Amino acid sequence: MLTVTDWAPPWAIYHARAVGTLWEGRNRSGAALERLLGASRARLLGYLASPATTTQLADRTGLTPGAVSQHLTILYDAGLVDRSRQGREVIYLLTDTGTALLNPA
**The pLDDT of residue 75:** 95
Q: Which of 26, 78, 86 is nearest to 56 (CA)?
A: 86
Mark 63-82 as b/e (b = at least 16 C-beta within 10 Å): beeebbbebbeebeeeebbb
- The C-alpha atoms of residue 42 and residue 38 are separated, in whole angstroms, by 6
- Tell me the pTM: 0.69
Q: Which of 96, 105, 94, 103 lies closest to 47, judged by CA? A: 94
The predicted-structure confidence for 3-32, as pLDDT tens digits, reads as follows 556 666 777 766 666 555 544 544 555 788
34 found inside a domain: no
Q: Provide the angle, in degrees to the nearest 10, between the axes of the packed helices 28-37 and 39-47.
A: 120
> Which structural domain, as residue segments, surrounds residue 66?
40-105
pLDDT, tens digit, 9 for 90 and up, residues 37-76? 899 999 999 999 899 999 999 999 999 999 999 999 999 9
For residue 63, being part of any structural domain is answered with yes
Decide if 85 is inside a domain.
yes
The reply to whether 33 falls in a domain is: no
